[in-house]
Chains A and B, each alone.
Chain A
Amino acid sequence: MEAENKKLDQFTKEVMQDAGLQAPSTDFLANVMAAVTHEKVPVKAYKPLISKVGWLIIGALFLIFAFVLTRFSLGFSIFGDWNLSSLVIEKYEPTFEIPEIPATYAYCFFFLLVFVVIQVKIFSKQLDKNLN
């Protein structure tokens, strides 16, 4: 079976090499170039939104934060007395009982919202630029 497959593989290779390539008409190149020259689309280099260096910096910062946060305890909160969950509850004076929101969860949610708002701004600007 293996030998048959090998032989069939070799046979197909010879057949396909024999078939060769077909050539288009002689004015094909000229026609394509004439069409392309009339194209007004600017051909610019592809640039990712976040460059390789950017990703390296983000990765390094992430690793540093992860290392510091898991290895050392600061003994105090960088947010001090600022309690987001109590702020929300006090400001809107809810008429129903709201369960205590864990501080970590509240901060994460808050920063996620900030990031989403910033990203929406950046992406819409980028989109406008591309459309123009």
Chain B
Amino acid sequence: MTQNTDQDYIDQIRSGNVNAYSMLVAKYKNMVFTLALRIVENREDAEEVSQDTFIKAYRKLDSFKGTSKFSTWLYRIVYNTSLDYVKKNKRVVLSEHIDEINESDIGSMQNALTYIEDKERKETIEKALLKLPEEERILLTLFYFEELPLKEISEIVKISYDNVKIKLHRSRKKLFHILKNVVEPIYLNHGSRK
């Protein structure tokens, strides 16, 4: 059996089968929700923003030209909707200072993270991510989790290809420093308990 592509579902919706939209919502709800959550920082608000995103996408489906992937187009909508939400709430994120990193630092951090329980590790990373500016959280998520090419990411966040590269490099370093500050005390605490 051949698998339906996003375009197949879009064609079905356009020919009047509204239920086909549920396939797209089911496919992308987690990614959309995660992106929203990493910007608005609150589950209830992220749920509202995600819902708005899917409704907006449905309304705008007639203007979806298919020149980019449906996912790229959808992520751009959730990104803009989330930023609008943040703007309304006027939250300011303080920037993290960046120091140089050496190889042994990275090695010891990898080691420290393995000592933390799965659930706690996930929470720690999530908290560290929230200390980055919104744009950088999204860049990291799209590049490292969704593994999108830089060109598609630049279309979503509306910054140049080179700028995405520079910002990704900067955000990698920032995330490392934040994690180092958060993980080291936990690691030391775990070590002293053993």
Residues on A lying within 8 angstroms of B by beta carbon are 3-5, 7-9, 11-25, 28-29, 31-33, 35-37, 39, 41-46
Contact = CB atoms under 8 A, between A and B. Distances in A.
Interface residues of B, number: 53
Interface stretch (B28-36, B85-93, B149-157): B28-36
Contacts of A12: 140, 144, 172, 175-176
Contacts of A37: 18
- Interface residue SS majority, chain A: helix
Interface string B123-151: 00110010000000000110011000000
Interface string B44-79: 001100110011001101111110000000000000
Contacts of A32: 22, 25, 29, 51, 54-55
A28 B110 contact: no
B103 interface: yes
Contacts, number: 122
B122 interface: yes
Contact of B58 (A29, A36, A45): A36
Given A18-B125, A36-B55, A39-B59, A8 B176 contact: yes
A46 B110 contact: no
Contacts of B65: 46
Contacts of B101: 4, 8
Contact of B144 (A7, A16, A24, A36): A16
B121 interface: yes
Interface in B97-130: 101-103, 106-107, 109-110, 113, 121-122, 125-126, 129
A14 B144 CA distance: 8
A2 B32 CA distance: 34
A15 B179 contact: yes
A43 B62 contact: yes
Contact of B21 (A13, A20, A33, A41): A33
A111 B147 CA distance: 52
Contacts of A24: 29-30, 33, 46-47, 50
Given A18-B122, A46-B65, A33 B22 contact: yes
Contact of A43 (B13, B54, B141): B13
B167 interface: no
Given A11-B110, A43-B62, A16 B140 contact: yes
